[in-house]
Chains A and B, each alone.
Chain A
Amino acid sequence: MTELNKTTPNTDSENPDNKKEILLEMENINVSFYVQRGVIRAVKNLSLKIHKGETLTLVGESGCGKSVTAHTINQLIPMPPGKIESGSVKYRGRDLLKLKKSEIEALRGTQISMIFQEPMTALNPVFTVGEQIADVFMSHQKMKHKEAFSKAIELLDLVKIPSPAERAKSYPHQLSGGMRQRAMIAMALASPEPGLMIADEPTTALDVTIQAQILDLLSDLKKKINMSLLLITHDMGVVAEMADRVVVMYAGSKVEEADVFQIFDEPCHPYTLGLLNSLPSNPKYKNSTRLEAIDGTVPDLLTLGDGCPFENRCIYATAICNESFPPAFDLGNGHTVWCHNHTKIDRSTNVE
């Protein structure tokens, strides 16, 4: 799974078809959290586009705003303390931020669904798995219990849970981590036309072999029902495996956006480069035992200045980096980077 080389290039990502229907478009999203110590600007001026049938991955370390971005889409941000300050989230042309609460509720679970990082805690412990999936059918499609339950068994079969009819009667604590994550995915699929699935670090809590199975399952399902996937991860291996396009985030801002090959072949942001350099499978570690990490830590979002947020950890930083946030540099082919010094990047240590 951590195999970085894509031997058979994905045709989808090689010829990014720009005429493809845009499913979701986020524009200039700003999300802040008002806490006692001040205002945390968790997401700053973020714009995203997800085309139909595409997998977009959001990459970045903990606390850089990945989950907040995802939660903005189906409005799961706790308000207060959170607040979506500005921007728009257009799904099939409708601005989700202007919808009524009931309309959002109808959209969640029918068109936009979500799977979570911790399958151990993301299922309700007092109901059986089948019951929970059936519940989604009953509340959104007004199905009778019996019909919904048999649908739930079908879904458990679809996500490749062995003997689904029996497992449907199991409580979450009776299932293993991988099975629970499959059950979560089944729950997210319990809708007539799943359009967008948001997967918030779906494999982080699982061990490596199960990770591979879950990722395979997700890409299988994606093909089968032609849905789009917003995949949040901090694992570059997962990115290589799954992504069509990649958005790298740092401290709430987008720092680089490109398709998956460009990210691995010609990363243009020092942070992206740092992420790639810290991969254990990077060939430069063939003869050494020590991994290279990005020095320093993520800056406190409360005290962040106007400059580039990566400036304090960046080996390429110059005076201008401290003064102003870099503008977008368009490198062609949909590759954009937000770095003043992107031309100076040394890629000699790059992953093959």
Chain B
Amino acid sequence: MANKDVNVKNSIKIETVLKEPGPWSESWYNLKKNKGAMTGLFIIVIFILMALFAPFISPHDPEAQTIAMRKSPPLTEGYLLGTDDLGRDMLSRLIYGSRISMIIGVVSVGISLVFGLLIGVISSYYGGWIDKFIMRIIDIMLAFPYILLTIVIVAILGPSLTNAMIAIGISQIPKYARVVRASVLAEKESDYVLAERSLGTSDLELMFRTILPNCLSATIVQATLGVGEAILSSAGLSFLGLGAQPPTPEWGLMIASSKEFITNAWWIVTLPGIAILLAVLGFNLLGDGIRDILDPRMRE
């Protein structure tokens, strides 16, 4: 009797062990083991929460000026991180700034991702002169230094935050197109593509339903790293006066408008810099981690 019980227990145990993890839970398990990626994810989650709940957690209106309190150092009562040259609360401005930066990151990466995927898939799927034509245009875009290309596009569209996002998005398209094209080139010769074609699948379905999902891993990494890069670029553009316009609490703009105070009120220029650094670091760490778990060769 006792024996039987043991057997039953064992079989239950075996059943649970045999249950295969889904692809998502497996990836999550691998990601959890990667300390760098988890640090990155932690930073990103904090920034995202800050962005989402900005009105509830920021102690002051980010644009409200209290001239009497201008250039208060950090830890002044009521102003945890001090105030800037116009007496605006630094903490509130940084919190609202995260909102802008996250939006910039997502929107500009979204633009380059959508167009990059489309261009890359079409170019490599059809091959021939279509591929040559598209890739030469991509080559021309890549021939310009990235920041120069962005500046040129903003200069044409006119300086504003929206246009900066569009410009960053457009100038990043070649990168995504290249990455996607390379992986589609490898995948489109696979047997399963031929097999699905033999089942009467149309070109459009083959491109976007059959092949594309198999090419996403490289793109996901690229996109995660791209968000950090976009935040950095938009800060750069705003610093040059081509992105966000005052009084928007954009981090790059905050640095630009307070750079002359670096000697007597260091926090006004340093804190937005640290915010940019943390956000970019977070996305880079996460991107590296995702690359590690998506590439079987990097696994231990």
Interface on A for B, CB 8 Å cutoff?
Answer: 74, 76, 102, 104-110, 113-116, 118, 121-127, 135-136, 139-140, 171, 174, 184, 187-188, 190, 198
Q: Which residues of A contact B195 (CB under 8 A)?
A: 114-116, 122-123, 184, 187
| From B200, B201, B202, B210, contact of A107 by CB (8 A) | B200
The total of Cβ contacts below 8 Å across the A-B interface reads: 67
| From A102, A113, A171, contact of B199 by CB (8 A) | A113
Q: Which residues of A contact B23 (CB under 8 A)?
A: 171
A75 vs chain B, min Cβ distance (A) = 9
Interface readout for B270-285 with A: 1 if CB under 8 Å, 0 if not?
A: 0000000000000000
* Interface contact A114-B213, CB-CB below 8 Å: no
**Interface residue tally for chain B (C-beta within 8 Å):** 19
* Interface contact A124-B199, CB-CB below 8 Å: no
B27 vs chain A, min Cβ distance (A) = 13
Asked if B196 is an interface residue, CB under 8 A from chain A, the answer is yes
* Interface contact A126-B201, CB-CB below 8 Å: no
Asked if B76 is an interface residue, CB under 8 A from chain A, the answer is no
* Interface contact A106-B200, CB-CB below 8 Å: yes
Interface 9-residue window, one of B56-64, B171-179, B186-194, B255-263 = B186-194
* Interface contact B192-A123, CB-CB below 8 Å: yes
B83 vs chain A, min Cβ distance (A) = 52
A101 vs chain B, min Cβ distance (A) = 9
| 19 A-B residue pairings within 8 Å (CB atoms) | A108-B198, A109-B200, A113-B198, A113-B199, A115-B195, A121-B190, A121-B191, A121-B192, A122-B191, A122-B192, A122-B195, A126-B214, A135-B201, A135-B209, A136-B199, A139-B201, A139-B202, A139-B205, A190-B199
| From A105, A125, A171, contact of B214 by CB (8 A) | A125
Q: Which residues of B contact A171 (CB under 8 A)?
A: 23
> Given A109-B201, A136-B199, A187-B199, does the pair A174, B20 have CB atoms closer than 8 Å?
yes
Q: Describe A's contact surface by its main secondary structure.
A: mixed
* Interface contact B194-A127, CB-CB below 8 Å: no
Give Cα distance in the complex from A190 to B20, angstroms.
28
Give Cα distance in the complex from A118 to B192, angstroms.
9
Beyond A116-B191, A124-B214, A187-B195: 19 further Cβ-contacts under 8 Å?
A: A76-B194, A102-B202, A105-B201, A105-B202, A110-B200, A114-B195, A114-B198, A114-B199, A115-B195, A118-B191, A121-B190, A121-B191, A122-B194, A124-B210, A135-B209, A139-B200, A139-B201, A184-B195, A188-B199
Residue of B nearest to A119 (CB): B191
Give Cα distance in the complex from A113 to B201, angstroms.
12
Residue of A nearest to B199 (CB): A109
| From B192, B200, B201, contact of A125 by CB (8 A) | B192
Give Cα distance in the complex from A75 to B198, angstroms.
9
Q: Which residues of B contact A190 (CB under 8 A)?
A: 199
Asked if B197 is an interface residue, CB under 8 A from chain A, the answer is yes
Give Cα distance in the complex from A139 to B213, angstroms.
18
* Interface contact B200-A108, CB-CB below 8 Å: yes
Interface readout for B6-27 with A: 1 if CB under 8 Å, 0 if not?
A: 0000000000000010010000
Residue of B nearest to A108 (CB): B200
Interface residues of B in 206-223 (CB under 8 A from A): 209-210, 213-214
Q: Which residues of A contact B202 (CB under 8 A)?
A: 102, 105, 139
